[in-house]
């Protein structure tokens, strides 16, 4: 158990007084869920313009009648009275987006809310699995969330020894750029310039901080591509999570977060964007898909599917299928078609 110093105690008391003074007539505050511990959450104050106050955070439990609350949720909450150490979440505010993990025979399980952008992280190592990238794209499209590709470890791409993998990534990113997905380049050793010698991808984007600006983002992608390293690099010395002085410390509780929201700062220390991370979120994309999800989630397929004259068309099997016609006409790339078939076939497993 951690013992707090007198100074920390008085700071907590000061924070609590500052928080309570901001409540409305009914004693409620707007808040943003920044950590989830299972049975409790950590809340940061949100003003009416949705700006978060990172200094004023409070541990809260929630009313039993509420739906599942997740990281990124906006809520109405009641701060603790002087006798209590935890506040209570009274209401859930409207969600703009929701990531949900489907479960057999149960309602889907909410995982994170109000995500604006999903970055699919790839790298020269481990080897890119393009079907996996397409799975993530399909999941993002079905969640109706903007999605971009993030090529990490560009330092390896510049190495002549990696010529063939560079070419492979180049061609793949050219394909996604053609499908109108934004492609960013990054490496954790060089946060300012990430120049990379790739031929085909036009309009290369290196400013990941700018891409995170004003939004709540998540990083997904296979293990080892560098998601944790990117988050560490972006947070710099600020890696300590938001709200490190709170009611939680006072109780000295040992708790494990199931998900966490981080604040991304610019060089002047001003908060510019948010990131949510958890193992469950990283696995997003590997969740169950239906055949309809797959067609909908592949942008160029979606349009042709609308024109397909067969109801319940399995696509590709029938002459006259609009997707087959588009493929025969080179309007659908072979690699996307092979992803489509691969993912569709994997559904039976
Ligand atoms: P995660 O599983 O996606 O979270 O990946 P990690 O952040 O754990 O990184 C996996 C490995 O890749 C670690 O050994 C990192 O040091 C390394 N790594 C991460 N980013 C970069 C990068 O930009 N360049 C290089 N060369 N290695 C990196
Ligand atoms: Zn068809």
Helices (H), the chain: 6-21, 130-143, 154-157, 163-178, 208-212, 227-235, 247-251, 279-282, 291-297, 299-307, 322-328, 334-346
Q: What is the pLDDT of residues 200-251, one digit of tens each?
A: 666 677 788 889 999 999 999 999 999 999 998 888 765 544 444 444 444 4
- Which tokens is 230 given? 């990117």
Q: Please give the Cα distance from 175 to 314 (Å, whole number).
A: 25
8 Å CB contact between 185 and 151: yes
Q: What is the pLDDT of residues 29-68, one digit of tens each?
A: 999 999 998 889 999 999 988 888 887 789 999 999 999 9
Supply the DSSP symbol for 162. Answer: G
Report CA-CA distances (Å) from 206 to 5, 104, 162, 231, 306: 44, 41, 20, 16, 36
Mean pLDDT over 328-333 rounds to: 92
Q: In the chain, how long is the greatest CA-to-CA distance? A: 78
Q: Please give the Cα distance from 65 to 74 (Å, whole number).
A: 17
To the nearest whole number, what is the mean pLDDT of the chain?
86
Could you tell me which residue, 21 or 73, shows the higher pLDDT?
73
Ligand 1 site, CB within 6 A: 152-153, 155-156, 187-189, 223-229
* pLDDT for the residue numbered 132: 94
Query: 229 C-alpha to center of ligand 1: Å?
Result: 5
* pLDDT for the residue numbered 295: 92
Query: 220 C-alpha to center of ligand 2: Å?
Result: 31
Percent over 70 (pLDDT), the chain: 89
Protein residue with least CA distance to atom 12, ligand 1: 226
Supply the DSSP symbol for 237. Answer: G
Q: Please give the Cα distance from 203 to 177 (Å, whole number).
A: 9
Looking at the DSSP bridge assignments, the partners of residue 112 are: 71, 99
Ligand with smallest separation from the Cα of 315: 2
Of 187, 204, 120, 127, nearest to 152 by C-alpha is 187
Supply the DSSP symbol for 130. Answer: H
Q: Please give the Cα distance from 49 to 133 (Å, whole number).
A: 35
8 Å CB contact between 295 and 302: yes
User: Where is average pLDDT lowest: 23-32, 109-118, 317-326?
Assistant: 317-326
Of 294, 169, 277, nearest to 230 by C-alpha is 277
pLDDT band (50, 70, 90) for residue 143: very high
Mutate to test the pocket of ligand 1, among 229, 232, 239, 262 (most ligand atoms within 8 A of CB): 229
Percent over 90 (pLDDT), the chain: 51
Q: What is the pLDDT of residues 265-317, one digit of tens each?
A: 887 878 889 999 998 888 888 888 888 899 999 999 998 888 887 777 777 77
Ligand with smallest separation from the Cα of 229: 1
């Amino acid at each position: 158990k951690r013992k707090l110093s007198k100074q920390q105690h008085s700071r907590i008391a000061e924070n609590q007084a500052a928080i309570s003074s901001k409540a409305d007539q009914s004693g409620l505050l707007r808040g943003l869920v920044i950590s989830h511990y299972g049975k409790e959450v950590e809340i940061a104050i949100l003003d009416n313009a949705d700006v978060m106050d990172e200094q004023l955070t409070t541990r809260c439990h929630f009313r039993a009648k509420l739906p599942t609350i997740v990281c990124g949720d906006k809520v109405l909450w009641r701060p603790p009275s002087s006798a209590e150490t935890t506040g209570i979440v009274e209401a859930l505010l409207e969600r703009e987006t929701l990531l949900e993990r489907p479960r057999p025979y149960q309602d889907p399980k909410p995982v994170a809310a109000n995500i604006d952008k999903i970055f699919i992280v790839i790298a020269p190592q481990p080897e890119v699995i393009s079907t996996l990238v397409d799975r993530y794209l399909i999941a993002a499209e079905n969640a109706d969330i903007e999605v971009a590709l993030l090529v990490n470890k560009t330092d390896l791409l510049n190495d002549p020894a990696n010529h063939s993998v560079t070419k492979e990534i180049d061609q793949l990113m050219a394909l996604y750029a053609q499908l109108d997905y934004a492609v960013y380049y990054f490496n954790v050793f060089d946060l300012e310039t990430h120049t990379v010698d790739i031929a085909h991808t036009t309009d290369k984007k290196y400013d990941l901080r700018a891409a995170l600006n004003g939004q709540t983002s998540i990083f997904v992608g296979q293990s080892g591509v560098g998601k944790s390293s990117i988050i560490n690099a972006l947070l710099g010395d600020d890696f300590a999570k938001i709200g490190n002085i709170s009611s939680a410390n006072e109780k000295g509780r040992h708790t494990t977060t199931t998900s966490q929201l981080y604040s991304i700062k610019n060089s002047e220390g001003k908060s510019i964007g948010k990131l949510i991370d958890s193992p469950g979120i990283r696995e997003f994309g590997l969740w169950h898909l239906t055949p309809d999800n797959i067609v909908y989630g592949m942008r160029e397929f979606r349009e042709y599917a609308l024109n397909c004259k067969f109801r319940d068309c399995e696509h590709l099997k029938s002459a006259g299928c609009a997707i087959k016609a588009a493929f025969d006409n080179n309007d659908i790339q072979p690699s996307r078609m092979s992803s489509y078939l691969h993912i569709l076939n994997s559904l039976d497993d």
